[in-house]
Structures are given as structure tokens and as C-alpha cells.
Amino acid sequence: MPSNSAAELASASQDGSAAPAAGDRQTPGVKRKPLAAPGRQDRRVPKLSGSGLLLPLLAGVLFLALWELQVFHKLFDLKKYQLPLPSAIAEAMRDNFSLLLSYTGYTLTEAVLGMLAGSACGFLVALCATAWPRWGGGSLTLVAALNAVPIVALAPIMNLWFGDGIGSRVAIVTATTMAAMAINAYKGMAAVDPLALDLMHSYAASKRAVFRYLRIQNSLPYVFTALKINATASMIGAIVGEFFFSSRGLGYLLSNSIKVAKMPLGWSCIVLAAIAGVIFYLAVERLEKLFIKWHPSERA
């Protein structure tokens, strides 16, 4: 009995997600939650129990207090206009609340649209790579290479192609979110249980039926892992895209505030971007819970 089930082998993927815990002996066919894709821990948000959250919260409050009391300024010899105090940032947020809110919505729209487009493209690439392994594999490598291209290099080109509007940022986000989805979905489709595949063959199932009833189903947990990665990546893509050729959005406001030395406003953009990123991420996580209820990893 081989201890490595297909799911385990899948998690040791070519893009280098962590090798599975070899100690996890399990019968083939009992699938485990796929290891999160590279760079992601198996992140179930830590339980919101008192003890688990108290310590980090205290640390955070302490950190903010030290910041407010200008300890960091003394340590690193900073001026207040370089590193504004939390109270100043909060004030800037209050004063520009409606503007910040509308810009956050704008940036989030770009991120969501781009992520949907990019994830769809990535999924298609994965489908092709699985259906025609010999010729599709190359496309997977190309997409992975696209992932290593700095967003910053893409931004001006997309700006030339799609103008200054929302389109160019959506295109940037699309390009940056494709790879994670393609690689993860491919892993999920390739890592089907061999027994199930044999069963399909014995029923003389067509390629299409194998995809429909087996591979797509099997790739869902992986797809959601990719979506979670992309939630963060798309926010970054949208914000970085706005740094350069934009007249709206959080990224524009951030880089602009810094140019005119309005540091507190710049920092409040960061705070909002962080909040929006977390909300987006948690929304994807909720969707995941809804969609793959049947998956063992979702059972209590």
C-alpha cells in the first residue's frame, strides 16, 4: 500500500509548494485538504477565542501606544512628517472619509473584475494543459513565467493598450492572477484518485465525462486555494497599477499624498487597503465554505 496518495503527490508540485507531511498515512481515496499553495499557510483564521487572540491584540495595542508616544521617532531619529502618529492617521481618515470610501470601492472593483477574468483564464489554461498534456504543459510554463514578471513592468504597457481608465488596471490584475489559478487548478485536475480514474475507464467514459464528473470536482479545493491567493494579489495589482497612470483610486491617492507630503493621508490609504484586502479575502473564504461543503477539510 503506497503511503503517498495522489493528493499528497499533488501538493508537492512543480511550482514548489511545500512537500506534504510524509507522516500522513492515509488510504488512497480519502483526500486531505490540499496543502495551500506556495507562500500560503493552511490559513484557517485563528480561532477567535479569548486566549488565542488576547496576546497578539495586547502586542498590537502596545505597539500602537509606543508609536503614539513617539518612541520609534526617538529610536530611529524620525520626524513627525516622515512617520505620522496613529492619532494623525485616524484624523486624516475621519476628514476624508467619503473620498477614501469611494476610492476604496473603485480599487476593489478593479481588483474583483481583474481577479475574475484572470482566474477564468487561468482555469482555461489548466483545462487545456490537462486535456492535452504534451502541448498544454508548455502553456503552463509560460503562464508561470508571466507570474515572475514584475507588475511594475506590466503597468505601463497595459496603460498603452487600454488607456487610463479602469481597463488597464483590470488587465494588470488579470495578468497577475492567471498563474496561481492555472498552476493550482492543474494540480487539482491532475491529482485525481487513480481508482476513480480506473472506474471511469471501466465505464468507457469519454474524456469530457472524466472532466465533468471527476477532474473539475476534484480541482475545486485547489481552485479556492488559488482564489484566496488571488484575492491578495489582485489588491496589490490594482494598487500598484494606480500608482502610475491614474486619477482615481487608493493607489493614486497614496502616491499623490506622499508627493505632496501629506503623510497621514497616505497612511490612511494603506489602512483602508489592508481592511479591503482582508474583507475580500474573508469573502472568498466564505464562498469556499459554501461551495465545498462536501470536502473532508470543511467538516468539523
Partner 1 sequence: MKAENVFARSRLLPLFVWIFGLLLVWEGASWLLLHVLETPLAQSKLPYVHEVVATLWKYGGTLIKEGAATFGNAGVGFLIGAVSGVALAVLMSLSRIIERLAFPYAIASQMIPILGLAPIIYGIVRDEQISRIIIAGYITFFPVSLNMLRGLRSVEPSALELMHSYAAKPWAVYWKLRFPAALPGLFSGLKIAAPLAVTGAILVELMGAQHGIGVIMLRNLYYGPSHTYMFWSTVIVGALLGIASYGLMSLAERLAAPWQPEFRPKGGSR
Which residues from 93-122 bind partner 1, rule CB under 8 A?
Answer: none
For position 231 contacting partner 1 by CB under 8 A, the verdict is yes
Q: What is the DSSP letter of 296?
A: G
Residue written as grid cell 503562464: 143
| Nearer of residues 101 and 261 to partner 1, judged by Cβ | 261
CB of residue 91 to partner 1, shortest distance in Å: 17
Question: Angle 216-244/263-291 helices, nearest 10 degrees?
Answer: 170
| Nearer of residues 271 and 292 to partner 1, judged by Cβ | 271
Question: Angle 216-244/151-162 helices, nearest 10 degrees?
Answer: 80
Question: Angle 166-190/133-148 helices, nearest 10 degrees?
Answer: 130
Where in 71-90 is the site for partner 1 (CB under 8 A)? Answer: 78, 82-83
Residue 238 and residue 111: Cα distance in Å, rounded?
A: 6
Type of residue numbered 50? G
CB of residue 78 to partner 1, shortest distance in Å: 7
Contacts of 243 (CB under 8 A, 6+ apart): 155, 251, 252, 254, 255
Residue from the set 26, 29, 30, 59 that interacts with partner 1 by CB under 8 A: 59
| Nearer of residues 79 and 293 to partner 1, judged by Cβ | 79
H helix intervals, the chain: 6-11, 50-68, 71-76, 86-95, 97-131, 133-148, 151-162, 166-190, 194-202, 207-210, 216-244, 250-259, 263-291
Q: How far is CA 149 from CA 63, 93, 169, 179, 256, in A?
A: 35, 34, 16, 11, 25
Q: What is the DSSP letter of 22?
A: T
For position 266 contacting partner 1 by CB under 8 A, the verdict is yes
Residue 5 and residue 123: Cα distance in Å, rounded?
A: 24
Residue from the set 96, 223, 267, 268 that interacts with partner 1 by CB under 8 A: 267
CB of residue 275 to partner 1, shortest distance in Å: 9
CB of residue 272 to partner 1, shortest distance in Å: 10
| Nearer of residues 90 and 258 to partner 1, judged by Cβ | 258
Residue from the set 90, 128, 236, 292 that interacts with partner 1 by CB under 8 A: 236
Residue from the set 61, 87, 105, 161 that interacts with partner 1 by CB under 8 A: 161
CB of residue 129 to partner 1, shortest distance in Å: 8
Please tell me the count of residues contacting partner 1 according to CB under 8 A. 84
Contacts of 284 (CB under 8 A, 6+ apart): 224, 227, 228, 231
First-to-last alpha carbon distance for the chain, in angstroms, is 28
Cell triple for 93: 481618515
CB of residue 224 to partner 1, shortest distance in Å: 15
Residue from the set 89, 93, 121, 140 that interacts with partner 1 by CB under 8 A: 140
| Nearer of residues 71 and 145 to partner 1, judged by Cβ | 145
For position 68 contacting partner 1 by CB under 8 A, the verdict is no
For position 19 contacting partner 1 by CB under 8 A, the verdict is yes
For position 163 contacting partner 1 by CB under 8 A, the verdict is no
CB of residue 95 to partner 1, shortest distance in Å: 19
CB of residue 30 to partner 1, shortest distance in Å: 17
- Here's the x/- map for partner 1, 181-200, by CB under 8 A: it reads as ------x--xx--x--x---
